[in-house]
Amino acid sequence: MNHISMDTGVEVAVLNDFDILFPAKEDLSLPYRQLFPLITNAANTPFHAILPHRIKENINSLKQVLSHQLGAQFQVLYAMKTNRSAALVKAAAEEGIGIDVSSLEEFQLALTQGVNGRQCSLSGPFKSEAFLTLALRQEARIVVDSDEELLQIQCLASSIRKSARVLLRWNAEQPHTRFGMNKEKLKAASLFADSLSNIELEGAGFHLSGYCPLERGKALSELLDIADALRFGADIRWKAINIGGGYPLRYVEEATWRRFQNAIDKEDFAAGRMPKSFYPYWHPDTMETAVEKVLKEGGNAARLKANRIELIVEPGRALTDGAGFTTFEVLGTKTTNAGDYCVIVKGLSFSFSETWFNSEFIVDPLHLPVSEESTDSFIPVRAYIAGQSCLEEDVLTYRKVPFSQMPKAGDLLVFNNTAGYLMDLLETRFHGLPIPNKVVLDNKEDSFLIEEVRG
């Protein structure tokens, strides 16, 4: 583990058994270390760092793959539920992509950050009247979850004399989802939508859980079959198909992921609380190769082009790869009655949410001591990390993380690559604590901006 003194910025190489076991693919915080004293002073801790230039890189790389396969017949949406940072949404707007919005508040934020309303797409099982009304006025696409919702939207659209641009959500035959319609309902809803005034049926879409490109490819082929059947059987022409999100990314290198899978065991977790499964922190595919596979399957790319159907993709997590990190400050350390070391940080695990999903963020945090000490005095330890609240479950990582010296009050712990669902999904003002600031860092590495805090 390399320790970098916050006082001097001097790097001290320390190598022993307690070195970082599972390093991040990239230390995103490294270029900004000289700003840390200023940031912690101005933004307090914990803070989330947002790197908008990184989402731009990801957007461009995805666009490249799609345009190579489909020419101009595609649309990329950023699924804002992943991270509601205004800076990320603004970066998406600057790259000319749209936003998948799931609430009036997300939609309003997208519009204020310069996203074109027609490039937004609404998702969710039922949407509020205010949300739908704004969508109708802005001519956003609405992904309709059920025939019941379709009728509701039609009533609203006709009452304000607007036309709703509609995609119907297919459940892709996933038995355990409450979202979307099965094939029969989807076909019936297509015929029904086509017959309704104030409804412009543009196509259909799905979102699958998991990250398998082959499953997505097969689902897209099936949807293209339905599109063919509707075209030949009822002269209904779809203009667009939305294949949702769920593209992989790599938080760690392959060797690290394999080592993690082989080396980890119950003993490595406080109270033996090892999750049953982990998010795939490394995946054989990247976002780009996954999209290529989806399009290759069953000749999907050629079928989309031949039928002039626009492909919509709405990744969340994969677009935020590398677009942020989270820093906590140590309040103190203790030995629990079970004999484990526990590091308590200022703030809550709601700002780093993995354990709340019965999982664990496998990437080791970086430890930045507040002051330099002689390496002779280092006593390596393994410690788990908890938040400052009175909740037993307020734990950032049950895994006993290796530290080459025991963290102490004022030290910082940096968790890399947290922009995807880890930062703000669960944040609350529990105990009256403030919601952590988001600090926007650009690639010039010499300044920062504090984003307005949203609830």
Helices marked H in 113-212 — which ranges? Answer: 129-138, 147-159, 183-195
CA atoms within 13 A on the CB side of 321: 23
Separation of first and last alpha carbons in the chain: 36
The single residue among 104, 135, 318, 330 that binds ligand PLP, judged by CB under 6 A, is 318
Q: Does 324 interact with ligand PLP (rule: CB under 6 A)? A: no
Considering only 170-178, 218-226, 313-321, 400-408, which stretch makes contact with ligand PLP by CB under 6 A? 313-321
- Nearest distance from residue 224's CB to ligand PLP, in Å? 19
Q: DSSP class of residue 433?
A: P
Give the integer Cα–Cα distance in Å for 3 and 8. 11
- Residue 259 contacts residue 19 (beta carbons within 8 Å): no
Q: Does 244 interact with ligand PLP (rule: CB under 6 A)? A: yes
- Nearest distance from residue 99's CB to ligand PLP, in Å? 11
The single residue among 75, 85, 119, 123 that binds ligand PLP, judged by CB under 6 A, is 123
The β-bridge partners of 4 are 11
> Helices 104-112 and 129-138, interaxial angle, to 10°?
30
By C-alpha distance, which of 398, 385, 388 is closest to 430? 388
The single residue among 47, 78, 238, 247 that binds ligand PLP, judged by CB under 6 A, is 247
- Nearest distance from residue 191's CB to ligand PLP, in Å? 24
- Nearest distance from residue 447's CB to ligand PLP, in Å? 30
- Amino acid at residue number 93: A
Considering only 58-66, 232-240, 241-249, 267-275, which stretch makes contact with ligand PLP by CB under 6 A? 241-249
Catalytic residues: 390
The single residue among 213, 315, 347, 402 that binds ligand PLP, judged by CB under 6 A, is 315
- State the DSSP string of 203-262: EEE---SS--HHHHHHHHHHHHHHHHHHHHHH-----EEE--------SS-HHHHHHHHH
The single residue among 54, 141, 283, 317 that binds ligand PLP, judged by CB under 6 A, is 317
- Residue 440 contacts residue 449 (beta carbons within 8 Å): yes
Q: Does 245 interact with ligand PLP (rule: CB under 6 A)? A: yes
Nearer to ligand PLP, 79 or 422 (CB): 79
Q: Does 246 interact with ligand PLP (rule: CB under 6 A)? A: yes
- Nearest distance from residue 125's CB to ligand PLP, in Å? 10
- Nearest distance from residue 65's CB to ligand PLP, in Å? 15
- State the DSSP string of 172-189: TT-TT--SSB-HHHHHHH
Exposed / middle / buried, residue 318 (Cβ in 10 Å: 0-12, 13-18, 19+): buried
Considering only 21-29, 189-197, 309-317, 434-442, which stretch makes contact with ligand PLP by CB under 6 A? 309-317
- Amino acid at residue number 344: I
Considering only 37-45, 61-69, 310-318, 330-338, which stretch makes contact with ligand PLP by CB under 6 A? 310-318
- Residue 343 contacts residue 388 (beta carbons within 8 Å): no
- Nearest distance from residue 241's CB to ligand PLP, in Å? 13
Residue number with the shortest CB distance to ligand PLP? 245
**Which 46-85 positions form the footprint of ligand PLP (CB under 6 A)?**
79, 82
The single residue among 33, 54, 207, 250 that binds ligand PLP, judged by CB under 6 A, is 207
Q: How far is CA 334 from each of CA 330, 352, 365, 379, 388, rounded to the nearest angstrom?
A: 12, 21, 18, 15, 12
Nearer to ligand PLP, 214 or 271 (CB): 214
Q: Residue numbers of the site for ligand PLP (CB under 6 A)?
A: 79, 82, 100, 123, 207, 244-247, 314-318
